[in-house]
Structure 1
Amino acid sequence: MHYVSTRADASAASSSPSNASFSAASFSDILLGGLAPDGGLYLPAEYPQVTGAELDAWRKLSYADLAIAILKKFATDIPEADIEALARKTYTSETYRNARPDENAADITPLRVLEDEGGRKLVLQALSNGPTLAFKDMAMQLLGNLFEYALAKEGTELNIFGATSGDTGSAAEYAMRGKQGIRVFMLSPHKKMSAFQTAQMFSLQDPNIFNIAVEGVFDDCQDMVKAVSNDLEFKARHKIGTVNSINWARVVAQVIYYFRGYLAATKSNEEKVSFTVPSGNFGNICAGHIARMMGLPIDKLVVATNENDVLDEFFRTGIYRVRKSSETHHTSSPSMDISKASNFERFVYDLVGRDPARVKALFAKVETDGGFDLSGAPGSDGDEFKQVARYGFKSGKSTHDERVQTIRDVADDYGIVIDTHTADGIKVAKENIEKGVTMIVLETALAAKFNETILEALGEDAERPAGFENIEALPQKFTVMPPNVENMKAYIAANTGL
Structure 2
Amino acid sequence: MKFISTRGQASALSFEDVILTGLASDGGLYLPEVIPQFSTTDIEAMRGLPYNELAFKIMAPFVDGEVSDVDLKDIIDRSYATFRHDAIAPLVQTGHNEFILELFQGPTLAFKDFALQFLGNLLDFILEKRQQKVVIMGATSGDTGSAAIEGCRHCKHVDIFILHPHKRVSEVQRRQMTTVIEDNVHNIALEGNFDDCQNMVKASFADQSFLPEGRQLVAVNSINWARIMAQIVYYFYAGVAVGSPARKVSFSVPTGNFGDIFAGYLASRMGLPIDQLVIATNQNDILHRCISRNDHSPQPLEHSLSPSMDIMVSSNFERMLFDLHGRDGNVIAKLMEASKSGSITLSDDALARARELFSSYRLNDDEVLEVIAQVYDRTEYLLDPHTAIGVQAARKTRRNKAVPMICLATAHPAKFPEAIQKAGCHDPVLPHHMSDLFDRKEHYQVLDNDIALVHRFISKNIHE
User: Please, what TM-score do these two structures have when normalized by structure 2?
Assistant: 0.97
Where does residue 490 of structure 1 map in the other structure?
A: 456
Matched, 1:82 2:78: no
The 8 Å contact of residues 322 and 366 in structure 1, kept in 2 or not, is answered as no
Match 1:204 to one of 159, 175, 180 = 180
Please give the alpha-carbon distance, in whole angstroms, between the structure 2 residues aligned to 1:153 and 1:8. Answer: 30
2-structure distance, mates of 1:469, 1:28:
38
Give the alignment partner of residue 142 of structure 2, picking from 166, 174, 180. Answer: 166
Give the percent of matched residue pairs that are identical in Structure 1 and Structure 2. 41
In structure 1, the partner of 2:80 is 91
State how far apart, in whole Å, the 1-side matches of 2:294 and 2:198 are: 24
How many correspondences in the alignment?
461
Task: Using the TM superposition, give the Cα deviation of residue 234 of structure 1 relative to its aligned residue in structure 2, in angstroms.
Answer: 4.8
- How far has the Cα of 1:470 moved from its partner? 3.8
Amino acid at match of 1:304: A
Aligned-pair CA distance for 1:408: 0.6
SS of match in other structure, 2:434: coil
Q: For residues 92 and 316 of structure 2, what CA distance do their matches in structure 1 show?
A: 29
1:31 counterpart residue number: 19
**Which residue number corresponds to residue 239 of structure 2?**
262
Aligned residue for 1:206, secondary structure, equals coil
2-side partners of 1:110 and 1:386: how far apart?
Answer: 34
Q: Is the Cα–Cα contact under 8 Å of residues 100 and 406 in structure 2 kept in the other structure?
A: yes
Residue 471 (structure 1) aligns with: 437
In the alignment, the residues of structure 2 paired with residue 257 and residue 217 of structure 1 have an alpha-carbon distance, to the nearest angstrom, of 30
- Partner deviation per Cα, 1:111-138 (whole Å, 9 max, x = no partner): 111112xxxx111001100111111111
CA distance in 1, matches of 2:48, 2:158: 36
- Structure 1 residue matching 2:186: 3-state secondary structure: strand
Does structure 1 residue 335 correspond to structure 2 residue 308?
Answer: yes
Counterpart CA distance in 2 for 1:458 and 1:177 is: 37
1:441 aligns with 2:407: yes
What is the SS of the residue equivalent to 2:276?
strand
Residue 387 of structure 1 corresponds to which residue in structure 2?
A: 353
The 5 A counterparts of 1:89-488 are: 89-92=78-81, 95-97=82-84, 105-116=85-96, 121-234=97-210, 237-266=214-243, 268-323=244-299, 327-367=300-340, 369-374=341-346, 376=348, 384-390=350-356, 392-433=357-398, 434-488=400-454
- Three-state SS of the structure 1 residue aligned to 2:344 is strand
Deviation at 1:237, TM superposition (A): 4.4
In structure 1, what is the Cα distance between the partners aligned to 2:327 and 2:362? 29
Which residue type is aligned with residue 206 of structure 1? E
Distance across 2 between alignment mates of 1:384 and 1:263? 30
Aligned match of 1:100: none
* Partners of 1:162 and 1:244 within 8 A in 2: yes
Amino acid paired to 2:455: K
Assess if the C-alpha contact under 8 Å between 1:195 and 1:472 holds in 2.
Answer: no
Shift of 1:320: 1.5
Answer yes or no: is 1:63 the counterpart of 2:51.
Answer: yes
Q: Could you tell me which residue of structure 2 aligns to residue 53 of structure 1?
A: 41
> C-alpha distance in 2, partners of 1:122/1:60?
20
TM-score normalized by structure 1? Answer: 0.90
Distance 1:91 1:459, change over 3 A: closer
Counterpart selection for 1:41 from 29, 40, 50: 29
Q: Retained in 2: the 8 A contact 1:30–1:248?
A: yes
1:40 CA drift (Å): 0.3
Q: Residue type of the partner of 1:241?
A: V
Q: Deviations over 1:396-432 (max 9, x none)?
A: 0111111101111111111111101001111101112
Any conservation in 1 of the 2:101–2:406 contact (CA below 8 Å)? Answer: yes
Secondary structure of 2:296's counterpart equals strand
Shift of 1:384: 2.6
Please give the alpha-carbon distance, in whole angstroms, between the structure 2 residues aligned to 1:172 and 1:207. Answer: 15
Shift of the 373–338 alpha-carbon distance from structure 1 to 2, 3 Å rule, reads: same
Q: Secondary structure at the match of 2:390?
A: helix
The answer as to whether partners of 2:7 and 2:329 remain within 8 angstroms in 1 is: yes
CA drift of 1:375 comes to: 5.2
Q: Which amino acid aligns with 1:47?
A: I
Cα distance in structure 1, aligned partners of 2:77 and 2:109: 20
In the TM superposition, structure 1's runs of 4+ consecutive aligned residues that sit over 6 Å from their partners are: none
Structure 1 residues 25-34 or 459-468, which shifts more?
459-468
After superposition, what is the alpha-carbon deviation per residue over 1:295-343, rounded to whole angstroms, capped at 9, x for unaligned? Answer: 11111110000010000000101221123xxx10000000000000011
5+ residue gaps, structure 2, are: none
- Corresponding residue of 1:2: 2
Across the aligned residues of Structure 1 and Structure 2, the Cα RMSD in angstroms comes to 1.4
Q: What letter is aligned with 2:145?
A: G
Shift of 1:475: 1.8
Secondary structure of the equivalent of 1:74?
Answer: helix
Q: Deviations over 1:174-199 (max 9, x none)?
A: 11112211111000000001111111
